[in-house]
Structure 1
Amino acid sequence: MTSLDREPKSYVVRQGLDRILLELEVGDTVPPERELAVRFEVSRETVRQALHELLVEGRIERRGRGTVVARPKLTQPLSLRSYTEGALLYGRVPSRVVVTWEDLVADDTLATDLALPPESTVMHLERVLLADGERIGLESTYLPKSRFGDFRQTFDPTTSLYAAIRASGVEFGEATERIETVLASPREAALLESTTAMPMLLMHRKTLDTNGVPIESIRSLYRGDRIAFVATLTR
């Protein structure tokens, strides 16, 4: 047998862990590193590497000093549905924690995105997104104050913003979205109860109404271990 025929120890451990997880339920404790190292006859560092891969994939999670089987990721559709609609579609309970709700002077990029004159006032709403009480995303929404200024008095920021926008008579037309992988800043990681080493999905969205007028500019940061996105493609 050549070296190419041998399976790397890390691969063997990973396959073994996959089989173990198939026999466990959500919330069950994963065997500790020491026990797994003895079972697979490898170093604890090799086991630790395989467990880290499962952690990044969202299949396990740290709970106290132990590791347990994680719930399946929340799947969100890439569409003009709100976060609330997407979460409810997959049987999860959405909620939000308001971080910031303030007026800002738009910089050149934001003014261009929202088709506003330079130095126009925009409203910035920053919220932590939760599913079944678990923090999964950090969303920053920018709205033209000239169009939605009354929301500061009428809108409950812990509820669905899209529902409020529709209720105001604005119809969503289309959106442009870009998604990339990033690492969170210390502040973002703390708000998401994660770490700066955990890969995140960064989403930028610009939404227009049916007349082609910008509604919002959004920057959303999602935990890569707790959420996945799905799109339906047609010809």
Structure 2
Amino acid sequence: MSEPLHFVVKTRLVEVIERLGEGGALPPERVLAKDFGVSRWTMRQAIRELIADGRLRARQGQGTFVATPKLVQPLALVSYTEALRAQGHTPAREVVKFEEIAADDVLAEQLAIASGDRVYELERVLFADGQPIGLETTYMSVQRFPTLREVLDPTGSLYRCLTGQLGVRFGEGEELVETVIATPREAELLKATQSLPMLLLHRNTRDADGHPIEVVRSLYRGDRVGFRATLRP
């Protein structure tokens, strides 16, 4: 079975990308279409897929450029801050909301509290080197962590605060990863289009005694972030 034409074009474009190198400007779509002997629609489709793959980045009014390599995050109970710094990047967070809400039945079961109990909802945009890469929402029991608002700098590391100031010992966590399309609000916060594939992570974390610590929903730009897990038999 022959490969779709846009896939063949995409493969050839990867060679162009490798020659240009990081930050290099891709020739205009019409020029590439003419050089490759294909329609502009076919070229546009190939370029869109490479943008979704994180190989290219479009800048409105400027053109399309070779993207920086994706950030690779470990699927592990580690601080986002420390994981990025270990890769030579500068992490930052912007607080969208930090408030108390009433737990619904699902959240109450996950945090082992009663439905209607107060829960912190901490939503933050995650940045790497000044660029938004993720949107993280964390839920924690107010009853278990009554002083969290007093001791946590919400623009800093939550894990460092929990272990250093609140004496929490992390035990284990469960994480589910799936692909989704962002809502208009999420796309706006991440400075992305709704057509851009997103990676959604759901994580439940427990302490060393098996008690729930947090429930986390993390949405990452698929063009900027990948994940790595260490597998052992």
Secondary structure, in 3 states, of the residue corresponding to 2:143? Answer: helix
Q: 2:216: which partner in 1?
A: 218
The one of 152, 158, 162 aligned to 1:161: 158
Give deviations 1:140-198, integer Å, cap 9, x for gaps: 00011112221212211000000000011110000011111110000000000001111
Give deviations 1:17-49, integer Å, cap 9, x for gaps: 111001112211111101001100111000000
The one of 31, 37, 49 aligned to 1:35: 31
| Amino acid corresponding to residue 27 of structure 1 in structure 2 | G
Distance 1:8 1:180 in 2: 26
Q: 1:56: which partner in 2?
A: 52
Which shifted more, 144-153 or 97-106? 144-153
RMSD of the TM alignment (CA)?
1.1
Distance 2:113 2:92 in 1: 31
Task: Summarize the alignment of residues 84-163 of structure 1 with structure 2, pairs less than 5 Å apart.
Answer: 84-163=81-160
Distance 1:145 1:12 in 2: 55
The one of 187, 191, 197 aligned to 1:199: 197
- Which consecutive residues of structure 2, in runs of 5 or more, have no partner in the other structure? none
Distance 2:16 2:49 in 1: 15
Instruction: State the TM-score, normalized to the length of structure 2.
Output: 0.96
- Which consecutive residues of structure 1, in runs of 5 or more, have no partner in the other structure? none
Instruction: State the TM-score, normalized to the length of structure 1.
Output: 0.95
Alpha-carbon shift at residue 129 of structure 1 (Å): 0.4
Moved over 6 A (4+): none
Give deviations 1:84-119, integer Å, cap 9, x for gaps: 122122221110000000000000000100000221
The one of 187, 190, 207 aligned to 2:188: 190
Which shifted more, 145-154 or 103-112? 145-154
Measured at CA, do residues 174 and 7 of structure 1 come closer, stay the same or move farther in structure 2, by a change above 3 Å?
closer
Distance 2:101 2:4 in 1: 54
Distance 1:106 1:25 in 2: 49
Alpha-carbon shift at residue 78 of structure 1 (Å): 0.5
Alpha-carbon shift at residue 8 of structure 1 (Å): 4.1
Task: Summarize the alignment of residues 72-87 of structure 1 with structure 2, pairs less than 5 Å apart.
Answer: 72-87=69-84
Q: 2:21: which partner in 1?
A: 25
| Amino acid corresponding to residue 195 of structure 2 in structure 1 | A
Distance 1:112 1:160 in 2: 26
Q: 1:174: which partner in 2?
A: 172
Contact between 2:54 and 2:67, CA under 8 Å: does it hold in 1? yes
| Amino acid corresponding to residue 41 of structure 2 in structure 1 | E
